[in-house]
Amino acid sequence: MLLSIAADAEQAVNKIVLHALFQGKAIAIIDGERHVLVAGKPGPDGVSLLSVNTENETVEILVNGTRQTLHLGSISLAPVKTEDNGEKTTTLWADPDGHFYTIGTINGVAVRFLVDTGATSIAMNSKIAERVGIDYKSGKRGYASTAGGYTPMYEVDIKKIKIGDIEQKYVKGGVIEGSHPTDVLLGMTFLNGVEMRRDGNRMDLIYRGQQ
């Protein structure tokens, strides 16, 4: 199982590939070199392993001062901040299947987003909503059509979403009860506020203001 992230362009580390987890340790390829990371001890190039949860197959890792939760068995691409004539621009890179994933935050809590232009709004499962502090049951109740049939869904206002340098506040979203979708769907209530420029496996999000 592999996990790959691309770090901020200004950071020393450009790519981390997580190969294996053990109690208190992880094996990772950092910019092409193999390293054994030990929880609680400084790692190479500003990368430190904070903790390992072998049961949930997750690690807490610090990359040049940015704390992230990484999951085995998935590909997570962190945003790369770039300058475009002074505009707030974030660059995303596609995974091998052509999907654009990125690490961002909701209400200051790190989550993984999947860019989904077919989703009318931000969508997340109820477990993620609870983790980021959204009282979703106070929202307007409705239903969402899923592979398993119709599932309760709640309309919510998300206080703050941040991806790279791009931040939007009070974004409309939906919370679906259960564990799906696995990743937060970055839908049009956020994407309407950016210009999307795609070139092959690269996508630039350029902030143009909330709609």
Distance CA 184, CA 163 (A): 12
Residue 8: per-residue pLDDT: 39
Alpha carbon 161 to its chain's center? 11
- For 21, the domain range is 3-71
Check if the beta carbon of residue 197 is closer than 8 Å to that of residue 126.
no
For residues 133 and 160, membership in a common domain is answered with yes
181: preceding bond cis by omega (within 30 degrees): yes
End of a domain among 28, 49, 71? Answer: 71
Distance CA 184, CA 170 (A): 16
- Each as own residue / partner, the long-range contacts of residues 94-101 (CB below 8 Å, 24 or more positions apart, any chain) are 94/200, 94/201, 94/202, 94/203, 98/201, 100/203, 101/74, 101/75, 101/76, 101/77, 101/183
For residues 87 and 126, membership in a common domain is answered with yes
For residues 50 and 110, membership in a common domain is answered with no
Distance CA 146, CA 180 (A): 9
For residues 146 and 194, membership in a common domain is answered with yes
For residues 44 and 85, membership in a common domain is answered with no
- Show pLDDT as tens, one digit a residue, over the chain (211 residues): 344 434 333 445 666 767 778 889 888 777 767 889 899 888 887 788 899 887 777 788 887 667 777 665 433 344 545 444 557 888 888 888 889 988 889 998 888 899 999 999 999 999 999 999 999 999 999 988 776 678 899 999 999 999 988 999 999 999 999 888 999 999 999 999 999 999 888 899 999 877 6
Q: Which domain CATH number covers 171?
A: 2.40.70.10
Residues facing residue 49 across a β-bridge: 61
* Total domains, the chain: 2
For residues 119 and 188, membership in a common domain is answered with yes
End of a domain among 51, 71, 91? Answer: 71
For residues 44 and 125, membership in a common domain is answered with no
Residue 50's CB: how many other CB atoms inside 10 A?
A: 14
End of a domain among 52, 71, 90? Answer: 71
Angle (CA) 189-192-197 rounded to 5° is: 135
For residues 86 and 174, membership in a common domain is answered with yes
